[in-house]
Structure 1
Amino acid sequence: MIIVLLGYMGSGKSSVGKILAKKLDYNLIDLDDYIEEKENLSVKEIFKTKGEIYFRKKETEYLNGLLKLKENTVLALGGGTPCFAGNMEAIVAATNATSIYLNGSLPFLSKKLFKKKAKRPLIAHIETEALMLEFIGKHLFERSYFYNKAELKIVTDNKKKDEIVEEIILKLF
């Protein structure tokens, strides 16, 4: 089984993925890390030197390959992955995969990301919490159409990572 974790930046895909994979004794693949390894460049460098279109093509190519894995795997996606090139349709159509939307509310994600913005190039330039709320609100509005196609939805607001993992396990098994 492949457990596909998706959701907006800061929703916990990578950190929840690590705990979930360890608890279930599954492999863990973070798609952005996988792309960096295969391309021998950071995601930031790929965007800078080859552009977003190249990145999205590679992202789709690698995602489609990973969805064919036979090993039990937790696959943590990038926040934009479900929103491009029919990726969400491919995820939902994969017979050995279950998609889970880690759903953080706009106020929760905005507050959390504002505190950690320096580590995230996409939002590092945002100067106030009000502007962060506006930026994330626009993004979430655009992306929620795709995120909501996931088979399972887990609300993550004010929950510890272990609680989220337990909820996922309860819903899956």
Structure 2
Amino acid sequence: MNKIVLIGYMGVGKTVLGKKISENLKLAYYDLDDFIEKKVNLSVEDIFKSKGEIYFRRIERDCFEELMLKDESFVLSVGGGTPCYYENYKLLQDENVISVYLKASITMLVERLKTEKKTRPLVAQLTDEQLLEFVGKHLFERNFYYNKAKYTVEVDGKSISKISEEIISLLG
């Protein structure tokens, strides 16, 4: 039984790829943010606004652990910060977990996030210039955790189909 967990920075395509891979492998698919929203009956954006990031990270940890304890194979897309808090990265080290770091350049991430800022609580208030610096700094801080993934797949310039084929081929 394998749990395929996609990690990487926000905007890298974890949700779209997770759905595609689960469809191709005929496995259940979970999006951690969706799971959290159903659990607390609030959007991630509203959780950040009303209760703050620390509260969100605690709920995120509980929900992540709950999913990882499920006795089934599935594909899971987690938030960009998930591996970086409450030692969540340790849950990715289990022998039944295949973690894949979807790695993108700062330039690609900033271009994507510019159009998605309204739906991203961590960057919603940033100007495009601030966004570049924010993403660069964040990626630097998070690389330690992202690089603990079993596999790294570069995504720049590749289609969703190509990336999903690449990930599926890694699974053996």
Q: TM-score, normalised by structure 1?
A: 0.93
Tell me, yes or no, if structure 1 residue 104 matches structure 2 residue 104. Answer: yes
**Kept after mapping to 1: 8 A contact 2:99/2:149:** yes
- What is the aligned partner in structure 2 of residue 147 from structure 1? 146
**Distance 1:53-1:116 versus aligned 2 partners, 3 A rule:** closer
1:26 corresponds to: 27
Q: Provide the secondary structure at the position in 2 that maps to 1:78.
A: coil
Q: Residues 10 and 26 of structure 1: is their aligned pair in 2 closer, same or farther, counting only changes over 3 Å?
A: same
Q: Which residue of 2 aligns with 1:9?
A: 10
Sequence identity, in percent? 46
Distance apart, 1:125 and its partner CA: 2.6
SS in 2 for 1:5: strand
Q: 1:132 deviation in Å?
A: 2.1
Which residue of structure 1 aligns with residue 130 of structure 2? Answer: 131
Structure 1 residue 150: Cα displacement = 0.3
The 3 A distance-change label for structure 1 pair 117 and 49 is: closer
Partner of 2:53: 52
In the alignment, the residues of structure 2 paired with residue 58 and residue 121 of structure 1 have an alpha-carbon distance, to the nearest angstrom, of: 16
Distance 1:5 1:122, change over 3 A: same
What TM-score, normalized to structure 2?
A: 0.94
How far 1:159 moved relative to its partner? Answer: 0.7
* Unpaired runs of at least 5, structure 2: none
Instruction: Point out 4+ residue stretches in structure 1 off by more than 4 angstroms.
Output: none
State the alpha-carbon separation in 2 of the partners of residues 54 and 119 from structure 1. Answer: 19
Is 1:86 matched with 2:98?
A: no
Equivalent residue letter for 1:140: L
Preserved contact between residue 45 and residue 120 of structure 2 (Cα < 8 Å): no
Q: Deviations over 1:11-30 (max 9, x none)?
A: 11000001000000010100
> Deviation string for 1:25-54 (max 9, x for gaps)?
010100010000011111122222222222
Superposition CA RMSD, Å: 1.3
CA distance in 2, matches of 1:148, 1:156: 15
Distance 1:58 1:116, change over 3 A: closer
